[in-house]
Amino acid sequence: MRFERLLHETIDEMAGEVHAPGAGLAARSMAKGRRIRRTRRLAVGAAAAVAVAAVAVPWLALPHRDGAAPVVPAASVTASRQASPAATLAWGSGLPGGWVVTKIGDRVLDRATGELVATSGVVWPAPAGKRVLTVVAPEKVRISDVRGTNPVTVDTAGFVGDYSWNAIGDRLVGGISQKEPFQVGFAVIDAGTGEVRRHWIDHDRYDCSECTFTWTRDGGGVTLPIADRSGGEAEERVDHLQYFDATSGEARSFAQVPAMPSGPFSWSPGGRYVVAGPPVPEASAGWRRFDTTTGQSVPFPGPAVWVTADVLLAVRDGKVLVVTPDGTVTATLDVPGAEPGTAISIGPPG
């Protein structure tokens, strides 16, 4: 989803001049954004042109034997050096807690049939339920069932940052902005109807660099990483996480977590712990598990989801890692058909 954000920013800048907002912090923030986009353009300019073409031309599907849609493979468990034989036997050949692989490359799980369905374009399945989000144009997405039924189209002009599914897969959240008058905020999208509800926030008070909103585990709110400007605007740092009510848009409490969660399952079932990382697109290092009550943290092998209070899963190099809350990898699960660099998504049962 972050590539689509880079695509948006690159195309917007190529299409015409960005009008600066009013003076003050907002202007400095937008100026910084333009500097970042100019740097990124060198890296993503060619990719943007290819991606725009990919909107109209379907991706080449992975070859399937006899042309049939493949059945979702069961992940095979390879015990790591830290794993105990008892733990490995208990997990068998599936993911802990009944979790499933929902996406491998461009193939997405149809939960009704248990098959992986080839898709085209930039597709992001909900962690639970049957809806998927597909980017069909730079400022337009379609939300449908896995096989394209019951579609709704959403105009995403003004959206920034990433889209984030909630835990049950019936809503998404995305950052939004407008240039004149300058405002930032978030929008909640109903995955069934396509209805969009926008909420504007006080950017002077809730300053953000990567204005990416993610859901809390219970779905009642969203969080925003507030920028730490102590190192200057060139630094991408987070000071803390600010909570906003997903229905009213009102600011609530905050957590002294200087990092950014990747989604609702980054939060432990009780909400005390969160796995979060640096506000850098596709960061693979620098992830930690934070205790929101004490502020203490421990290193973590990457972005992870909490299956239970004692078991987490992380995806890395085409494999699924089973991790304890202290960051210890207890098993490595090989996903058939996935290679290093293959996009893999996982989700809870149901």
| pLDDT of 190 above 80 | yes
Averaged pLDDT of the chain: 78
Instruction: Read off the pLDDT band of 226 (50, 70, 90).
Output: very high
pLDDT per residue as tens digits for the range 240-292: 999 999 999 999 999 999 999 999 999 999 999 999 998 765 556 789 999 99
Residue 161, pLDDT score: 72
- pTM for the model stands at 0.75
Residue 38, pLDDT score: 32
How far, CA to CA in Å, does 65 sit from each of 149, 219, 337?
25, 40, 12
Residue 337, pLDDT score: 80
**Contacts for 345 with CB less than 8 Å, ≥ 6 apart:** 101, 102, 103, 124, 125, 127, 315
Coil/strand/helix, residue 103 = strand
Q: Which of 53-57, 255-259, 317-321, 331-335 has the lowest mean pLDDT?
A: 53-57
Angle ∠(173,274,122) on CA atoms, nearest 5? 40
| pLDDT of 339 above 50 | yes
Coil/strand/helix, residue 97 = helix
pLDDT per residue as tens digits for the range 68-89: 333 444 444 443 334 443 233 2
